[in-house]
Chains A and B, each alone.
Chain A
Amino acid sequence: DTGVSQNPRHKITKRGQNVTFRCDPISEHNRLYWYRQTLGQGPEFLTYFQNEAQLEKSRLLSDRFSAERPKGSFSTLEIQRTEQGDSAMYLCASSPLTRLGTDTQYFGPGTRLTVL
């Protein structure tokens, strides 16, 4: 039984470059979430998918951020034209589709992005 995996674990990029992160959820989980965590803060919700449908994307931080989950399995988060303020930990989580309130989210190890 494998957990949520994320790749890469670390990414260093120069300002202005595009970056893409991948998340592989727990196989039977329908829901997939992306969060951002900056130093000294709790995670901040960005977007989520139910199967391949992106049901909430208004919390993406700017139009430079986009996410996909094309076949309802893995997901990618892309940041275009990175800025130094994008430096953070990007966390992915997945949960099964259960009755409201008990869909516990299980997190991956995160991708730490550093923008120089």
Chain B
Amino acid sequence: AQKITQTQPGMFVQEKEAVTLDCTYDTSDQSYGLFWYKQPSSGEMIFLIYQGSYDEQNATEGRYSLNFQKARKSANLVISASQLGDSAMYFCAMREVSNQAGTALIFGKGTTLSVSS
């Protein structure tokens, strides 16, 4: 069965510093997709970045980059130059590959990031 594990319940970082949020996954599929979402206190899930299993380079989107280590089944999110507005819950997710579940996402339990000035 596919599974996403986020082992850091909370992370603290100061403004302008970089922070890494950990994510490991478990799947027997060769083709899969990994996503990171940000959820502020307002509740909306905001898409940040996507990594396909066959992508040769790590994905980057502005201050966000994904440190994809396929052999270790990890897909850590790196946020550079943290800002106060980055304080939120962050979820790692995997696209569920199953004929019965379409393109559902499986989420981890999330990591709460707190950025201080």
Q: Which residues of A contact B (CB under 8 A)?
A: 31, 33, 35, 40-45, 48, 50, 55-56, 58-59, 89, 91, 93, 95, 100-110, 112
Contact of B47 among A31, A56, A105 (CB under 8 A): A105
8 Å CB interface, B1-51 against A:
4, 31-33, 35, 37, 42-47, 50
**Min distance, Cβ A86 to any Cβ of chain B, angstroms:** 17
Assess whether B103 is interfacial by the CB under 8 Å rule. Answer: yes
- B52 x A101 contact (CB < 8 A): yes
Contact A112 to B31, CB < 8 A, known contacts A40-B109, A45-B104: no
Q: Within 8 Å CB of B44, what residues of A?
A: 107-110
Q: Which residue of A lies closest to B49 (CB)?
A: A104
Contact A102 to B52, CB < 8 A, known contacts A41-B109, A45-B96, A107-B45: yes
**Min distance, Cβ A5 to any Cβ of chain B, angstroms:** 11
Contact A105 to B102, CB < 8 A, known contacts A42-B91, A42-B93, A100-B31: no
Contact of B105 among A41, A43, A102 (CB under 8 A): A43
Q: Within 8 Å CB of A102, what residues of B?
A: 33, 50, 52
Q: Which residues of B contact A (CB under 8 A)?
A: 4, 31-33, 35, 37, 42-47, 50, 52-53, 91, 93, 95-96, 100-110
- A42 x B47 contact (CB < 8 A): no
- A31 x B103 contact (CB < 8 A): yes
Q: Within 8 Å CB of B53, what residues of A?
A: 101
8 smallest CB-CB distances across A and B, nearest first, come from A42-B107, A107-B45, A45-B104, A101-B33, A109-B44, A110-B43, A56-B102, A48-B102
